[in-house]
Amino acid sequence: MIDETGSSRISVIGGTGALGSGLALRWALAGHDVIIGSRDGARAEQAAGELSTGSKPISGAENSVAAGQGDIVVLTVPYANHSATLETILPHLNGKILIDVTVPLMPPKVRTVQLPEGGSVAKAVQKQLGDEVRVVSAFQNVAAAHLADPDHDIDCDVLVCGNDPQARETVIELAKDAGMRAWHAGRIDNSAIAEALTSALIFMNGHYKIDGAGIRISGTPGSAEAKQGA
C-alpha cells in the first residue's frame, strides 16, 4: 500500500469534516496522494482546494468516486452516517485497507459509553465486509482541532486494532507520518477499548476543562527482554 517512494494513495471519506480534513492535511504534507470524499462532490473539491495550500495538492470527489481512487480508504464520518456511507463505498473496498475512525457517539449522551451490539463499530464492519477487506481501527482518541494545525504536537498515542498485522503496521506508519505515535493493540475485537474511551475523554475534557484530552502508553518496547537479560 506504500510504494517505493514511501507514498500511499489515501481516500478520506468524510474528509470535509474536522477529523477527516485534519488527517488529510497532515498526510498531504507528508507527501501522500490524498483524495477527500463527501456526499457532495463539489463540496469535496472546494475543501480539497482550501486544504492544498502549502501541501501536496489534495483532490476531492463524491464519496464513492473517492473510495475507488484510493489504495487505502479512511472512514471518518459521524456514527449516524456510518452505515449509509459504508454502503455507498462498499463496491470499492475489496483488496484494500479500510481504516475506520468511527466512534459510536449517540447525542445527547456523548459522555456515556454506548457500544453497539456485537461489541464495536469496527468489529461489526469487519464481519460485514469479510476477509477481502482488511479493517483497521485507529485515531478515535485524537482531538480533531489539534490535527487541523500541522504545527501542533499531538500529545496523544493511537491504538491500532485489526486482524491483519501487516495492515496494522501500515496504519502505524501513517500515524507517524501524521505526527503521532501509534501502537499495535491487537485484533479488531479490541477496537471496543478505543471506541469506548472516547466518551470518557469527552467527559474529562468537560470536567477538567482540558483542551483535547488524550492517552499515552507508558513503558519502553523491549524493556522486559532487557531486564531478563541483565
CB 122 within 8 A of CB 195: yes
**Percent of the chain whose pLDDT exceeds 70:** 97
The answer on pLDDT for 95 being more than 90 is yes
- With cut-offs at 50, 70 and 90, classify the pLDDT of residue 122: very high
- What the block records as the C-alpha cell of 216 is 499515552
pLDDT of residue 228: 74
Q: What is the dihedral of CA 73, 155, 172, 134, to 10 degrees?
A: -40
Q: Which domain holds residue 102?
A: 9-218
Residue for grid cell 476477509: 131
Query: For the chain, what is the domain count?
Result: 1
Q: Is residue 229 part of a domain?
A: no
| Least confidently predicted of 16-20, 159-163, 206-210, 223-227 | 223-227
Q: Is residue 201 part of a domain?
A: yes
**Average pLDDT over every residue of 188-201:** 97
Q: Is residue 1 part of a domain?
A: no
Sign of CA pseudo-dihedral 78, 81, 83, 87: negative
Q: Is residue 3 part of a domain?
A: no
Q: Is residue 153 part of a domain?
A: yes
Q: Is the pTM of this model over 0.85?
A: yes
Q: Is residue 138 part of a domain?
A: yes
Which CATH number covers residue 152? 3.40.50.720
Q: Is residue 230 part of a domain?
A: no
Q: Is residue 210 part of a domain?
A: yes
pLDDT of residue 3: 55
